[in-house]
Amino acid sequence: MLLWMATQTGLKAGLGQTDVVTACRLQARRRWLIRAGVSLTLSSLLLVLFVCLQRDRMTVRSCLRNMERHVVALQAEVSELGQLPAELPASSSRFTLVYASDLVREYARQVQEPVIVGHSAVQPLMLGHDGHGVLIYENGTVRSEWWPRPKLLGQWQAQSLRIRDWDFRRHLTPPELP
């Protein structure tokens, strides 16, 4: 049908039938090239997106796996001592963590809410927010979670305010001596 319409239009324009057929074939080749180029580009973009998502998932899993070694060692210390130790127990991992100060550990011992007691260095992601592995202490148990950087900063600031208020109230009353 298309060839017939092109032939009729081409004949009216004064072109020969072979010129019209050649023009029609060239147009079809151009459309095929454009379709092939667009589909190749889209499939390449999807492949790159998939690879980036996989890389981000592997980064998060690797961070949490490394955190788990610290969680196990810290939970063993907490179970033995009944409270958070002064220093993070040594583990076989070279994965370093920022650990809680004395005030944060005392606060965690006194309250019944989850308390951030440690976190990993920032782990860069390609598609999502960069994040941290976070150690959370709650009622004698330690667990690890993955948090995006904005969430960690917001929770850390809120926790710091609660700790400051708790510490201020704690020092309002004089200590009781025996």
DSSP E strands in 27-122: the ranges are: 97-99, 115-120
Burial of residue 21 (number of CB atoms within 10 Å: 0-12, 13-18, 19+)? middle
Predicted confidence (pLDDT) per residue in 6-45, tens digit: 555 554 555 567 787 888 888 989 999 999 999 999 999 9
Least confident of 23-32, 128-137, 160-169: 23-32
Tell which wins on pLDDT, 20 or 158: 158
Looking up tokens 């009781």 gives 176
Residues 6+ apart with CB under 8 A from 140: 78, 79, 82
What is the crossing angle of helices 17-81 and 2-12, to 10°? 130
Q: pLDDT exceeding 90 applies to what percent of the chain?
A: 66
Mean model confidence pLDDT for the chain = 88
Q: Is the dihedral of CA 113, 117, 77, 176 positive or negative?
A: negative
Residue 15: its pLDDT value, please?
Answer: 56
Position 130 pLDDT exceeds 70? yes
What is the widest separation between alpha-carbon atoms in the chain?
A: 116
Confidence of residue 162 (pLDDT cuts 50, 70, 90): very high
Q: What is the mean pLDDT of residues 52-65?
A: 95
Sheet containing 141-148: give its strands across: 97-99, 115-120, 131-138, 141-148
* Burial of residue 18, with CB atoms counted within 10 A of its CB: 0-12 exposed, 13-18 middle, 19 or more buried: exposed
